[in-house]
Amino acid sequence: MATIPTLSYPEFDESVIHHLLARLAQLCDEDLPPELVAQLTVDEPPESAMPDCWQDTYLMVGYLRSLNQALLANMLPGKVAEDLAGLLHDMVYILRDYVREPYRTH
């Protein structure tokens, strides 16, 4: 009989992840200093890593936090948890690439 893999996180990791995502949400709301905006602003922006429908980083961080909480609950079937863990991973890297992009004045 095949076993269903489960995701488990030590309690310490859960609080660290929760703290980091909460801090990320705060940072997404703060304005950058003007000198940093000047350094990050370009005339011809490259193609964005983030789809147009996800340009609001605060909303994206909210999605990531909710997805993380669903995984931490450890109540999902194995394959679903595995797929969602992969989605969480990919979304974090997309968000990372997006916040590294030059500032866009829409």
pLDDT in tens, 19-45: 887 887 887 777 878 888 787 777 776
pLDDT in tens, 50-66: 777 776 778 888 889 99
Q: Tell whether 5 is covered by a domain.
A: no
Q: Tell whether 2 is covered by a domain.
A: no
Surface-to-core class of residue 95, CB atoms within 10 Å of its CB (0-12 exposed, 13-18 middle, 19+ buried): buried
Structure token digits, residue 84: 């969602």
Q: Tell whether 17 is covered by a domain.
A: yes
How many domains would you assign to the chain?
1
Domain that holds residue 21: 11-41+51-99
Question: Quick check: pTM over 0.75?
Answer: no
Strand partners, 41: 103
